[in-house]
Amino acid sequence: MLLAFALAYITCITLCLAMNRHFQQLLPNQKISPKIAMLLRNSGWILLLLTIIYCTKLVGVAVGLVLVLGLFSAAACLLALLLNYAPRVALGLVVAAPLASLL
């Protein structure tokens, strides 16, 4: 379950990084090239698909879809707050969340 959340969160942050404004918030000292932005955006959509597949594998299609929606609500809200108040934590979670799910 935690891995599912980690996946949803990483999906959100990838899509977020593809947007100039949020990229600046997370990595203020770096510039994003259109090419990288495109790459991030596409990976984001692929990750989204993976999250959906993982959740439906985990608990079945019907409940899995409900789970995906719930996880994304939580992940997106968390990320939107972290972007402003703790951008480093936002980046740190990318590593921490999957690690925590392995424990």
Residues that bind other proteins (CB under 8 A): 1, 12, 15-16, 19, 21-22, 60, 62-63, 66-67, 69-74, 76-77, 79-81, 83-85
CB atoms within 10 A of CB 53: 13
Q: Which is nearer to other proteins, 29 or 84 (CB)?
A: 84
Measured from the CB atom, the residue of 16 and 40 that comes closer to other proteins is 16
Task: Write down the least CB distance from residue 72 to other proteins, Å.
Answer: 7
- The Cα–Cα gap between 80 and 101 comes to 22
Q: With respect to other proteins, which residue has the nearer C-beta, 74 or 91?
A: 74
Three-state DSSP state, 29: coil
Q: In angstroms, what is the minimal distance from the CB of 14 to other proteins? A: 12
Q: What is the CA radius of gyration of the chain?
A: 14
Among all chains, which residue has been given the structure tokens 């999906």?
11
Residue 64 Cβ, how far from other proteins at the closest point, in Å?
A: 10
Nearer Cβ to other proteins, position 25 or 36? 25
Torsion, CA 6, CA 12, CA 13, CA 16, rounded to 10: 180
